[in-house]
Amino acid sequence: MSKPSPSKSGQRVEVIDALRGFAILGILFANILSWSGVKFMPFTELKQFPSFETDLFIYHLNGILIDTKFYTIFSLLFGIGFYLQFNKNRNNQPDFMKVYYKRLRYLMLFGLIHMFFWSGDILFIYALVGFVFVQFRNLKPKTLLIISLIAFVLPIFKDIFMLIFAPGFMVPPEKLALKTYIDMTPEEVIEPFRNGSFWDVVQMNWHNLKWRFFDLLPSGRLFKIFAFFVLGFYMMGNDYFHNQAKSIKLLFVYLIVGLGLTFLSKEVGGSMGQFPSDWNDILYKTLFSFGQVILAFAYISILTISYESALGVKMMSGLKYVGRMSFSSYLGHTIFGILIFYPYGFGLFGTMSLWQVEVLAIAIYLVQILLAVIWLKYYSFGPLEWLWRSLTYGKFLSMKKNSK
């Protein structure tokens, strides 16, 4: 019986790499709002930018097209990636799972280190949920689908419970910034990122991290990530990318229903990151959550259908390269964010309007495409992908192409 071994780069499914690169782009658009200060600056300051009306339009557009859709895709891809590895080792589960648990432990370690610098880390959470998710690997497809649906809707029932017994629990009395904490004013939050020392920034980062973990409760994100892991595993086991993902008819259904639900949710108004204060909040979360996942499926279909043509493959080649280095690219976002915005870097925190920040995000991503293309010309894996694999298998793996 052969021992589990790292996958060769040539075994990858290219459209999945492109989707992973696409998800990395969307995550950058979301996270750069924090590094730049846009998310934490008081509204009184944001309104001072001459482009405020344009920024407001872009913010609402982000809420419809970007917010939560890309972590949904990234989470689905986690389940898909596990399926590809598991299916190859289905008849050798004890040895494979021993290696995979080690892989998750190192992912958790990377996440812990990353959290020291960035409160928005997802690696630790993915590893934590991953340990639970893999326990369901041998269930029947129909059972997996049911479990995924139950996990996805559980936060709605949690919100109903909270509305009945603790309405508005821990909700700030007044929204003073895009992200408002109940224990600090926006001015207190942004001061370390503007003028503080390295240690001041670390302390505020840990404050934000504490509240980020609290926000997992009202947002229900842990349940949703688990649901998407399971759903991704189910999708890959049922040839989703060879069938439904290529259906243009289904794509139009996704777009109409997904956009419809999302627009309705915005009309209702509310916040995914807070416990409900009234039934409108419940309605908002329900509409937005279903719109979130359906639009994510629309994006998956758009890329999959585009990949059927030579032109589509060529246009998305940059996404593919970033996707093959998604771990390095994701952590690279934090390096760019710290260097550009924090006081011990270029110190641009709070100096750029939203449209400027979004343009900068595109520029950062283009740089990442260039770096990925150059790197993968000589090496089989990204630098952090190589480190993760080497730690997992307990030996230094060859990284250069054509090396023995």
Both tokens of 101, joined, read: 């648990």
- pLDDT confidence of residue 1: 46
374 within some domain: yes
State the greatest distance between any 2 C-alpha atoms of the chain, in Å, as a whole number: 67
399 within some domain: no
- pLDDT confidence of residue 214: 95
- pLDDT confidence of residue 10: 38
- pLDDT confidence of residue 4: 56
Residue span of the structural domain in which 224 resides: 9-247+269-279+296-393
398 within some domain: no
- What does the H/E/C string look like for the chain? CCCCCCCCHHHCCHHHHHHHHHHHHHHHHHHHHHHHCCCCCEHHHHCCCCCHHHHHHHHHHHHHHCCCHHHHHHHHHHHHHHHHHHHHCHHHHHHHHHHHHHHHHHHHHHHHHHHHHCCCCCHHHHHHHHHHHHHHCCCCHHHHHHHHHHHHHHHHHHHHHHHHHCCCCCCCCCCCECCCCCCCCHHHHHHHHHHCCHHHHHHHHHHHHHHHHHHHHHHCHHHHHHHHHHHHHHHHHCCHHHCHHHCHHHHHHHHHHHHHHHHHHHHHCCCCCCCCCCHHHHHHHHHHHHHHHHHHHHHHHHHHHHCCCHHHHHHCHHHHHHHHCHHHHHHHHHHHHHHHHCCCCCCCCCCCCHHHHHHHHHHHHHHHHHHHHHHHHHECCCHHHHHHHHHHHCCCCCCECCCC
- pLDDT confidence of residue 14: 85
10-63 per-position pLDDT tens digit: 334 789 999 999 999 999 999 999 999 999 999 999 999 999 999 999 999 999
Both tokens of 278, joined, read: 């009234």
82-125 per-position pLDDT tens digit: 999 999 999 899 999 999 999 999 999 999 999 999 999 999 99
The pTM for the full model equals: 0.94
pLDDT band at 7 (very low <50, low <70, confident <90, very high): very low
Whether pLDDT at 372 is above 50: yes
- pLDDT confidence of residue 243: 87
pLDDT band at 400 (very low <50, low <70, confident <90, very high): confident
- pLDDT confidence of residue 173: 87
322 within some domain: yes
Whether pLDDT at 222 is above 70: yes
Q: How many domains does the chain have?
A: 1
144-187 per-position pLDDT tens digit: 999 999 999 999 999 999 999 999 999 998 999 999 999 999 99
267-303 per-position pLDDT tens digit: 999 999 999 999 999 999 999 999 999 999 999 999 9
Q: How many CB atoms lie within 10 A of CB 64?
A: 17
Burial class (CB in 10 A: 0-12, 13-18, 19+), 109: middle
370 within some domain: yes
% of residues, the chain, pLDDT over 70:
96
213 within some domain: yes
Token pair 């054509």: residue: 402
Residues facing 400 on adjacent strands: 379
Residue 334 to residue 321: CA distance in whole angstroms: 19
Mean pLDDT throughout 332-349?
Answer: 97
258 within some domain: no
254 within some domain: no
Average model confidence (pLDDT) across the chain: 94
pLDDT band at 9 (very low <50, low <70, confident <90, very high): very low
Mean pLDDT throughout 260-266?
Answer: 97
The angle formed by the CA atoms of residues 57, 61 and 62, to the nearest 5 degrees, is 115
